[in-house]
Amino acid sequence: MTALWLIVVILLLATLLCLIPPLLRRAPPAQPAADANVRAFYLAQREQLRRDLKNGSLTACAQARAEEEMQRDLLQDLELRRPRAAPWAGQRAGVAAACLLSVLIPVAAVLLYGQLGNPRAAAGAAAVPAEPHAGASGASSDDMALAINALAQRLRAAPDDPDGWYMLARSYETLGRYADAVAAYQQVLRLVPGQAAVLADLADALLSANQGTPDAASIAAVAQALAAQPDQPKALALAGMMALRRGDAAEALAHWERLQTRLPPGSEAARQIQSNIAQARAMAAGSPPAPAAPAAARISGRARIADALRDQVQPTDTVFILARPEDGPRMPLAILQMQVADLPRDFVLDDSSAISPDATLSRASKVRVEIRVSRSGTAAARPGDLGGALPGVGVPAGGLELVADTVVR
């Protein structure tokens, strides 16, 4: 944002430099002829008169009158050629116009941008956090957390900004702060109630904060989303998952088949839903679905805590290693639990570490692998916890280096 305003200031200065100097510049004085040239011309004319008098073509009286007229003309010519200063009234008007333009042009630019531009986008650009990358430095993660906290402070001062609350909720989800994301989504719904997509996001955050277990709030949010928009994709996916978990395969099948017709054929989401539909049909028919080969859905690597942050945790603090879908609902597909004293340690995530039989690694092609060091003993991030993530990990994958290198703010 600093670069944007710097460019704006430079453009305004360039505009003023083009307009103001001509108004302050005095009119250039007329260039007088040199006195020597004027006198030389006069002497040549007088010499000609004397020659005319000598050869008789001019009388003495006429010659005297001619010299007198010539002297008068010479004086008038010298007076006209004398340099004159520009009138003060004209110069004063130029100064006044320059001062007026110096004020009006910046004010007009700000007012015009306020009407036609998007000031929120400029402010938001400084606050939107980037998706953390593998191996990101602690400094950049701290900058992201500071930016999110700055956005939260701005919203507490001016809470009637639904776009800002939605941006904050998505940012909290990126950091794994699902309880905070739930509160931010509720603020969005306070300002724009009944938004199906926001209700579905709220349900997803509630499920993530509750380790994937549906509760009354998440079930109600999904129901409200589908009542407002029956074809809302995330709400349909979550409704099918909730129905299957309570053993209602027919309802799960109805939701997922409705969703399948609205997904791009061949997409990852379409393949995931097709797998879910196969499981629901098998459950409805009373036969178990064909088990996925464990080796085809296995993620392995080594987990550790960054050396610079090791002294900020206790050996008995809880460590969670989990995998979430890269797209769609963020309910963990697999999760491991250990203690800080166990790290560094090799880990394996597969279908045996799933927390729900209808949400497993074998149903995903790309996941986000996370590590969370929790002082409270819950996987939902809280200020002071440590975290780290590897986004876009394909399934299967091995040899991962998972590092808790970020302090949750």
The CATH number for 389's domain is 2.60.40
Question: 159 and 280 share a domain?
Answer: yes
49 vs 69: CA distance, rounded Å:
12
| 144 within a domain of the structure (yes/no) | yes
- Do 84 and 29 meet the contact criterion of CB atoms below 8 Å apart? yes
For residue 193, the tally of other CB atoms under 10 A from its CB is 11
- The total domain count for the chain is 4
Question: 42 and 13 share a domain?
Answer: no
In degrees, to the nearest 5, what angle opens at C-alpha 310 toward C-alphas 308 and 315?
Answer: 180
| 125 within a domain of the structure (yes/no) | no
Last residue of a domain, one of 253, 284, 315: 284
| 131 within a domain of the structure (yes/no) | no
For residue 202, the model assigns a pLDDT of 92
Burial-class residue 166 by CB neighbours within 10 Å (0-12, 13-18, 19+). Answer: buried
- Do 269 and 366 meet the contact criterion of CB atoms below 8 Å apart? no
3-class secondary structure, 21:
helix
- Do 200 and 188 meet the contact criterion of CB atoms below 8 Å apart? no
For residue 396, the model assigns a pLDDT of 86
For residue 288, the model assigns a pLDDT of 52
Identify the CA nearest to 365 among candidates 303, 322, 323, 335: 323
Question: 272 and 181 share a domain?
Answer: yes
Q: Residue 10: give the domain boundaries.
A: 2-26+88-120
- Do 166 and 188 meet the contact criterion of CB atoms below 8 Å apart? yes
Which one-letter DSSP state was computed for residue 84? -
For residue 337, the model assigns a pLDDT of 87
Question: 51 and 15 share a domain?
Answer: no
| 130 within a domain of the structure (yes/no) | no
| 128 within a domain of the structure (yes/no) | no
| 126 within a domain of the structure (yes/no) | no
For residue 76, the model assigns a pLDDT of 62
Question: 191 and 71 share a domain?
Answer: no
The DSSP H or E segment spanning 228 is helix 216-228
Last residue of a domain, one of 216, 250, 284: 284
Show the low-confidence residues of the chain (pLDDT under 70): 1-6, 8, 12, 16, 19-44, 49, 52, 55-64, 68, 70-99, 101-144, 287-296, 328, 356-358, 379
Question: 101 and 148 share a domain?
Answer: no
Last residue of a domain, one of 246, 264, 284: 284
Question: 182 and 233 share a domain?
Answer: yes
| 379 within a domain of the structure (yes/no) | yes
For residue 401, the model assigns a pLDDT of 93
Question: 259 and 143 share a domain?
Answer: yes
- Give CA torsion, residues 224, 225, 227, 231, to 10 deg: -160
Q: How much is the pTM?
A: 0.48
Question: 147 and 266 share a domain?
Answer: yes
Question: 143 and 271 share a domain?
Answer: yes
Identify the CA nearest to 319 among candidates 235, 387, 383: 387
Question: 173 and 218 share a domain?
Answer: yes
For residue 360, the model assigns a pLDDT of 79
| 240 within a domain of the structure (yes/no) | yes
For residue 131, the model assigns a pLDDT of 41
For residue 136, the model assigns a pLDDT of 43
Question: 106 and 69 share a domain?
Answer: no
For residue 362, the model assigns a pLDDT of 80
**Which tens digit of pLDDT belongs to each residue from 278-290?**
878 888 777 554 4
CATH number, domain with residue 246? 1.25.40.10
